[in-house]
Amino acid sequence: MRLKEKLLSSLITPSITLRNRVVMAPMSRRRSENGIPGNSVAVYYGQRAGAGLIIAENTAVAANGVGYLHAPGIYNTTQQAAWKKVVEEVHARNGKIFIQLVHTGRIGHPLNQEGAVPLVAPSALTAAEIIRTPGGIHLPATQPEALSTAGAQDMIKAHIQAAVTAIEVGFDGVEIHGAHGFLPEQFLHPRTNQRTDQYGGSIANRSRFLLEIMEGVAAAIGKERTGVRLSPFAILNDLPAYEEEEATHQYIIDALREMDILYIHLSSQASSIPKSYIQDVRKRFHNLLILAGDYTAASAEAALQENLADLIAFGRPFISNPDLVERFRHNVPLAAANKETFYEGGDKGYIDYPEMPSEVMATR
């Protein structure tokens, strides 16, 4: 067996065909001034079109859910026209690209949002997070406004409309960001959800917000174009572990199986997801499973061979290695990324990482 035999093999299903099982994970790079992806964003994703699947960075579904400075949105026509150029560049290179749709909820600052609109959340509880704002000033997150029942339903509709728009723009599908302490997970978590309406209290009620998004998106664009990212046990964005966490996620997985969506994408932080949990997800959910969490080519191949997943997502290696798949194929060492330019720096540390010289590939 070759070292990366399965990782570099194609994946063919009735719903989707991918040329390899390497996924470019959604990574916020914050190069979209005023929420509008610039020309360099199209270059960036085009350079990385060798991935079996690109999942574009978390993109706001509404003006009150941007959260981070220079994060992109897809809720106005200028943003949509810019994303269309990105999709066309990736498709011109025979790549496939989904977009990750997000509402950051209580994570963020009004100064980063169009019109300086206030943050919103399931309950009016401030996150203990520091946020970079215009001018490079770092400020504490502000207290969010608690969404009314109708307001929560408006946010569900915003996700569904963003998914419809993404398909109209040309994306091959969408991934709903149900992870990392953003709005859907704020509804899931009993610490941030102190509601007494149908979106709060029991596991079923706390899960309702995310599941109504998923059900609505799948109905609107097709279940075969719909995925979701989850991060059980990650403890991110001021969300601690809680007693019902595993049971909550098992409830969600079972519901997603019934919806028959294309994939679940599990995001692990420092091996936060136990192997036993991943195996349980495999038993419960019968469509595609993507795993993300500091994988190397070797550990990714091992996970695929063990049937823990169908696809493996790589994050930071794709930042500094636009030709990551070819480097895997030819056993070429990976270039290191400049951490100082992860979230700022213009084209520096963004589209200036070189690909391997052709003579290097020819000798391997």
Per-residue pLDDT of 92-101, as tens digits, reads 999 999 999 9
Q: How wide is the angle at C-alpha 207 spanned by C-alphas 106 and 183, nearest 5°?
A: 15
pTM of the model: 0.96
Helix (H, G, I), strand (E, B) or coil at 13: coil
Q: 225: which 2 tokens?
A: 């174009």
Q: How confident is the model at residue 3 (pLDDT cuts 50, 70, 90)?
A: low
Q: How wide is the angle at C-alpha 61 spanned by C-alphas 227 and 67, nearest 5°?
A: 110
Asked if the model's pLDDT at residue 63 lies above 80, the reply is yes
Asked if the model's pLDDT at residue 362 lies above 70, the reply is no
Q: pLDDT at position 4, please?
A: 73
Q: How confident is the model at residue 262 (pLDDT cuts 50, 70, 90)?
A: very high
Q: pLDDT at position 1, please?
A: 41
**Contact between 175 and 168 (Cβ < 8 Å):** no
Place of tokens 């978590």: 189
Q: What is the pLDDT of residues 265-293, one digit of tens each?
A: 999 977 789 999 999 999 999 999 999 99
Q: pLDDT at position 22, please?
A: 98
Give start and end residues of each alpha helix (H) in the chain. Answer: 39-47, 77-92, 149-169, 183-188, 203-221, 245-259, 275-284, 297-305, 316-320, 324-329, 358-362
**Contact between 171 and 97 (Cβ < 8 Å):** yes
Question: What does each C-alpha distance from 220 to 161, 167, 315 come to in angstroms?
Answer: 9, 10, 29
Q: How far apart are CA 94 and CA 51, in angstroms?
A: 10
Q: What is the pLDDT of residues 304-353, one digit of tens each?
A: 999 999 999 999 999 999 999 999 999 999 999 999 999 998 999 999 99
Dump the DSSP string for 32-79. Answer: -GGG---HHHHHHHHHTTTSSEEEEEEEESSGGG--STT--B-SSHHH
Q: How confident is the model at residue 355 (pLDDT cuts 50, 70, 90)?
A: confident
- Is 143 exposed, middle or buried (CB count within 10 Å of its CB: 0-12, 13-18, 19+)? middle
Q: pLDDT at position 198, please?
A: 98
Q: How far apart are CA 262 and CA 289, in angstroms?
A: 9
Helix (H, G, I), strand (E, B) or coil at 22: strand
Nearest alpha-carbon partner for 307 in 268, 278, 265:
278
Q: How wide is the angle at C-alpha 240 spanned by C-alphas 238 and 241, nearest 5°?
A: 155
Asked if the model's pLDDT at residue 150 lies above 70, the reply is yes
Q: What is the pLDDT of residues 14-53, one digit of tens each?
A: 999 999 999 999 999 999 999 999 999 999 999 999 999 9
Q: What is the pLDDT of the chain when averaged over all its residues?
A: 95
Q: pLDDT at position 364, please?
A: 54
Percent of the chain residues topping a pLDDT of 70: 97
Residue type, 24: M
Q: What is the pLDDT of residues 245-255, one digit of tens each?
A: 999 999 999 99
